[in-house]
Amino acid sequence: MITLSNIKKTYNKGAVTAVKDINFSVNRGEIFGLIGPDGAGKTTLFRILTTLLLADEGTATVNSFDVVKDYSKIRDCVGYMPGKFSLYQDLTVEENLNFFATVFGTTIKENYNLIKDIYVQIEPFKDRRAGKLSGGMKQKLALCCALIHKPVVLFLDEPTTGVDVVSRKEFWEMLKRLKAQGITILVSTAYMDEAKLCDRIALIQKGGILSIETPAKIVESFPGKLYALKGGKAYQVLEDIRAYSGTESCFAFGDALHVTFKNGQDNGALQYLHEKGHNDVSMEVIPPGIEDCFIHLLKG
Amino acid sequence: MPPVIITDKLTKRFGAFVAASELTFQVEKGEIFGFLGANGAGKTTAMRMLCGLLKPSSGKATIAGFDVYTQTEKIKRRIGYMSQKFSLYDDLTVSENIRFYGGIYGMNTKQIKAKTQDLLAELQLENEAKTLVRDLPLGWKQKLAFSVSLVHSPDIVFLDEPTGGVDPVTRRQFWDLIYHAADKGVTVFVTTHYMDEAEYCNRVSIMVDGVIAALDSPANLKQKYNHSNIEDVFYELARKAKRSE
């Protein structure tokens, strides 16, 4: 449904490389996640695929249309929700939706079933100006506007940044329902827990792809053992275990510290911590999550 | 040592709408206090009252010993504030931003110069002193914004979603800075949508529909609500919210 082949894009007359050697494809009906930090090149890829930006090198297609030659056909059949809120702030909720429907030659009524689940939540505020909506409601309206012409591919650039846990869960429920209706979704996120909700994910950093896999396979490929270290005064334990010669990496994860060791497994770390006066700490081997894998890949 | 934040039934109404209702809590010196709530729960209203930017409708509060009704200018000198949305001037360089905020807070040239060097060294930004802030990666900007919010050695720093949109490693480096500041006695009052970050706080409060629905250490909250993580505790409380945003 989406293909990218050797895509490269630079800015400032070649001085800054935004993305390079990008190759991947997204299957029909798939939720494909682009996971990476700010500045990794995610938005550049979205803009190339939505025909808003020309790549320096390489080719890309969406729904079998070429992003350069067939740009107008692509624009007709995709929905795009940019990371920055891009609706008309001084139009009301309903006016925005009407506007987007009209631009794409359709009506709200015609595709209402597609947006119904989402739109009913913001319908009580349909006369409110979009600029006066809260973050969660802006997000829902933007999704409605991106869906109103019944696109075959949906591009969502960090749709849940700055949105609370409850709204984020609801949002992903909606994506699953859209997927069930056959819509292909390319979505980027900075929340690692959302990565595991995708069918496949591409980890992207500094303009290049580190890995493309299903979430399960990415977790499987984590080398060595991961330990959860609990107890004690977290910050002091963190400083001490980082200073320990056998430690490869240590990061805080919720109420535990996640530690990997240079030999792939523990070699006396607990003893060392006891000597440092941390008597109430415990350590166990745990399965790594996506975030552990991402941190590992970022460092490697 | 008295608590640095004391509130007693602090309330803000906008007409008939009660944005924040009878907030009563205390935050100790050097504590990392997580202030959680869904979008629209009333966090921003509460924070604005605590910063001396919004006059409460009723109730009491003191910040660093100063009253939120009558001593707001004194409060502003004793607090730092950083928001993800706005903190630094994009079209000023790194060192100009530090100089600007130092000047705002009444530091003299010599103090600012010394502070600038300390800060750049601590953040390993010595080579970027003359770089425009707009050209810095987001993670660096956030770390710089946090350090700048501490430039005048405040008692309390308010952080409003400081880590949105950055990668997991950068997010943790940011928390290293928070721990470091708290270790030196700065009180940290922080809002976040990352529930794993809530676990790094000494205590967290969860606001639902303008009311503090829960307030305790992460460990006690998990025990009380019988969940293995704060995200599930938050979800259980926040999904009961009736008021729309």
Mean pLDDT of B25-37: 95
- The CATH fold of domain A222-299: Alpha-Beta Plaits (3.30.70)
pLDDT of residue A91: 95
Give the class (CATH, top level) of B5-238: alpha beta
- Chain A interface includes B130 (CB < 8 A): no
Least Cα separation, residue B37 to chain A (angstroms): 8
- Asked whether the beta carbons of B199 and B230 are under 8 A apart, the reply is yes
| Residue B107's pLDDT band (cuts 50, 70, 90) | very high
Nearest to A167 among B39, B200, B219 (CB): B39
In chain A, alpha helices (H): 42-49, 71-77, 93-103, 112-122, 135-147, 165-180, 192-195, 215-220, 234-243, 269-275, 290-299
Q: Do A252 and B172 touch (CB under 8 A)?
A: yes
Partner-chain residue, chosen from A124, A162, A252, that has the shortest CB–CB distance to B200: A252
Over pLDDT 70: what percentage of chain B?
98
Cβ-defined contact of A36 to B241 (cutoff 8 Å): no
Lowest mean pLDDT, pick from A63-77, A145-159, A223-237: A223-237
A185-239 tens-digit pLDDT: 999 987 888 888 999 999 998 899 988 999 999 999 898 899 999 887 778 888 8
pLDDT at residue B169 is higher than 90: no
pLDDT at position B189, please? 97
List Cα–Cα distances, A201 to A30, A34, A166, A298, B35, in angstroms: 10, 6, 23, 15, 32
Question: pLDDT confidence of A36, banded at 50, 70, 90?
Answer: confident
pLDDT, tens only, B223-235 = 999 998 899 999 9
**Banded pLDDT at B245 (limits 50, 70, 90):** low
Which residues are CB-neighbours of B36 under 8 A, at least 6 positions away?
A: B43, B191, B192, B198, B204, B205, B206, B207, B234
Residue A163 has pLDDT above 90, yes or no: no
DSSP string, B121-169: HHTT-GGGTTSBGGGS-HHHHHHHHHHHHTTT--SEEEEESTTTT--HH
- Residue A300: the pLDDT is 63
Burial of A194 (0-12, 13-18, 19+ CB in 10 A): buried
The residue of chain A with its CA nearest to that of B173 is A251
A-chain residue closest to B199, CA distance? A254
Between 3.40.50.300, 3.30.470.20, 3.90.226.10, 1.10.760.10, what CATH number should domain A2-219 receive?
3.40.50.300
**Mean of all residue pLDDT scores within chain A:** 91
State the pLDDT at residue A232.
Answer: 79
CB contact under 8 A, B37 and A164: yes
**How far apart are the C-alpha atoms of A27 and B28, rounded to whole Å?**
54
Give the helix ranges, DSSP H, for chain B: 43-50, 72-78, 94-104, 109-122, 138-149, 168-183, 195-198, 218-225, 230-238
pLDDT in tens, A136-147: 888 899 999 999
Query: Lowest mean pLDDT: which of A116-120, B28-32, B95-99?
Result: A116-120
Choose the most confident range, by mean pLDDT, from A110-124, A271-285, B89-103, B129-143: B89-103
Q: Kindly tell me if the per-residue pLDDT of B66 is higher than 90.
A: yes
CB contact under 8 A, B245 and A164: no
d(CA B155, CA B81): 11
User: In chain A, whose CA is at the least distance from the CA of B162?
Assistant: A162
B165: left (phi over 0), alpha (psi -120 to 50) or beta: left
Q: Work out the burial of residue B111: count CB atoms within 10 Å of its CB; fewer than 13 is exposed, 13-18 middle, 19 or more buried.
A: middle
- The string of pLDDT tens digits covering residues B39-53 is 888 998 999 999 999
The DSSP code for B11 is: E
Q: Which among A163, A254, A294 is the nearest to B168, CB-wise?
A: A294
Place of tokens 């959302």: A194
Question: What is the token pair recorded at A278?
Answer: 């941390």
Domain ranges of chain A: 2-219, 222-299
Domain-wise residue ranges, chain B: 5-238
The string of pLDDT tens digits covering residues A84-99 is 888 999 999 999 999 9
Q: Measured between alpha carbons, how far is residue B199 from residues A295, B48, B165, B182, B194 in Å?
A: 19, 24, 19, 15, 9
Q: Around Cβ A111, how many Cβ atoms within 10 Å? A: 18
Token representation of residue A61: 């297609």
Mean pLDDT, all residues of chain B: 92
Phi and psi dihedrals of A295, rounded to 5? -60, -45
pLDDT band of B80, cuts 50, 70, 90: very high
The pair of structure tokens assigned to B95 is 């060192």
* Cα gap B47→B45, rounded to integer Å: 5
